[in-house]
Structure formats: C-alpha cells, structure tokens
Structure 1
C-alpha cells in the first residue's frame, strides 16, 4: 500500500480513538470507568491503562526512530513483513478472535485513578497523531522498532504503528462493551 494512503487511514483511526476518549470516556463517572465487565473482564479504565502501558513503550521508540532518520519525500510502498502481518492480524478484532493473556508489565491494576488514565490515553493519542504526520516525510520501512515482548525481534515502523493502532482498536472495542 502506498505510504501516504496508509498513514492517512491510520490517522483517521487514531482521530476516532481520540474522539471516543474525549466524548465517551472523559465524561463518565469514576464508578462507571472502574466497573468490571459483566463477563469478569477489565473495566474501561483497565482497558485504557493497558493501552497506555504499550504507548509508554512504543511512542518514545517511534519518535526516536523518526527524528534519527532523514527526511525523504519519495513515494514509498509499505509492505508488511511476515512478522508484522502476524502481529497486526493477531490483534485485529475482525480477524483475530483469539484471546491473549496480557504480558507482565501490561496488566493493569484494579484500582486506578480513572481520570488520570483517560487523560494519559488522550495525551498518547495526540502524540500518535504527531508521529503519523512526521512519518509522512520519512522512509518508515527503514526504521526498525524492537517489539515489547522480544526486543531482539524488530518490526519496521510501518508495521509497528499499525500493530499499536489495531491493538488500541481491539481494547477500545472491549472498553465500549462495558458501556
């Protein structure tokens, strides 16, 4: 897929996540944000805190990779590697229905400052929008990002960003089921 088309699609998805956080979650009471799922799953705040933990890992790496690379205005075609495709598809709520156990360091506490969690999520989505805009002028296939569960494995930035955003979508859908 052509880079600008992909990045514009991802930007629209992040904008949608940001608007949901602002319009839906930000105005909910702490009680609703912290209420566990009726199925025994995570609360809305826990879903977003889980996403925040991934943002804490990936966003600085995305920025570092982008700022270290040269500007390049050439048209770039983005093709996922087999590992990138596997990671993206496994998190896609439309394709990957398999449940995963959250990794150590990404399991949210039960008691959280729900408003702070929402504020951090909003902040991270705004950072992600900036990253996507900067990426439009970079060769993102050249930038390698170590994955959080096995740092010796690396995805190119295009795959890593897609993974993070589809992972966000998966858990936002989970949070929305609690409404």
Structure 2
C-alpha cells in the first residue's frame, strides 16, 4: 500500500492478515529452522517475530494513551486517514519496498534467540494483533478520527504523532519483516 489514505477496513484487514501470515510462517516451521540465524549478526525467524512484538508493545501503550480521554473529547471523523509528511517518509523507510538495512532501537531488540519458545513467541505476537484489532474495531464503531487523535512517539517522546501514524508504521513494519521471515524459511528449506 502507498503510505497514505488508510481506512479502517484496510487496517483491520492488514492486522487480521498479519495474524494469519505469522501463524502460517511459524506453525509449519521446525524449531531449529525457527531459531536458525542466517549469520551471526542477523536475526532468526523467532527473533524477527519477537522484534515485531517488542516494537508493537512499545506503540500499544501510546495508542491507549491517545484514546484515554472521555468519549466526547475524542475527535470524530471518517476515513481515509493520512499520516503527516514526516511519518509518511518513515512508513516508507520501514516498509518492505525499502530494502536498506535500518538500525534497531534498543527497546525493539529481540530476546536472545536460543532462549525462545516458538509457541510463546507466536502467542505473544497474536495477542498483540488481537489488541490492535480490538482497538481499531472500537474506534471504527465510535467513528474516531485517527488523524486528529494525538499521542507520543514511543521512542522520541517529544514528537507527537497521530494514531494513523502509529497503526500505519506497525502495519508496514510487519509486512517488511514477514518478507524476511519468508526468505529465511525458503532459504533453510522449512
């Protein structure tokens, strides 16, 4: 998707699809393949999925803070929603179309791969997606304007961002890393 004009239906479908994609990638993958790194300085499938959960768990409290107001104080509106210029650029950076390696913020670093349990990693990711889907369904029902509900960037706290940007960054970031997981699964013949 281009990094503008997000709708509730698009976001709900994207996070629902993320659950299916993660489940499909992980369920039929042997444990040793799930934990195998392509190189010492690269992440395994498990580390990638854990990284997505870590990142999502940094964004989720910020999303909840943005919504933590009386209903009458939350701006109403309808989709489509469009992130501002800065966040449209950032969404482009974390999307699968950008093949450049990006530095990882310490808060998003995955747990050491050898200590991972495949089921626990997948369950954590699926739980996160369920929470995001629940929030989006409620926001859609209440016709909240995701562009005008502001919160803080989870890493650079002084940078305000819309809920549209929060959801769009998560969605693009997940698509990027699912591509990496697919490549690892194909490479290791799982």
TM-score by length of 2: 0.82
Matched, 1:118 2:122: yes
Residue 135 (1) aligns with residue 136 (2): no
Which residue is 1:84 aligned to? 87
- Matched residues in 2 for 1:77 and 1:22: separation? 29
**Deviation at residue 146 of structure 1 after TM alignment:** 1.6
> Aligned runs of 1:51-130 on 2, under 5 Å?
51-68=52-69, 70=71, 74-94=77-97, 96-108=98-110, 109-111=112-114, 112-130=116-134
SS in 2 for 1:151: coil
Aligned residues: 176
Q: 1:5-20 counterparts in 2 under 5 A?
A: 6-20=7-21
TM-score, normalization by structure 1: 0.87
Asked if 2 retains the 8 angstrom alpha-carbon contact of 1:66 and 1:135, the reply is no
Structure 2 residue matching 1:145: 3-state secondary structure: strand
Q: Is the 8 A contact 1:38 1:178 kept in 2?
A: no
Could you say what secondary structure the match of 1:150 adopts? coil
Long gaps (5+) in structure 1: none
Quote the Cα distance in structure 1 between the aligned partners of 2:56 and 2:158: 19
Please give the residue correspondences for 1:142-161 in structure 2 after superposition, counting only pairs within 5 Å. Answer: 142-161=148-167
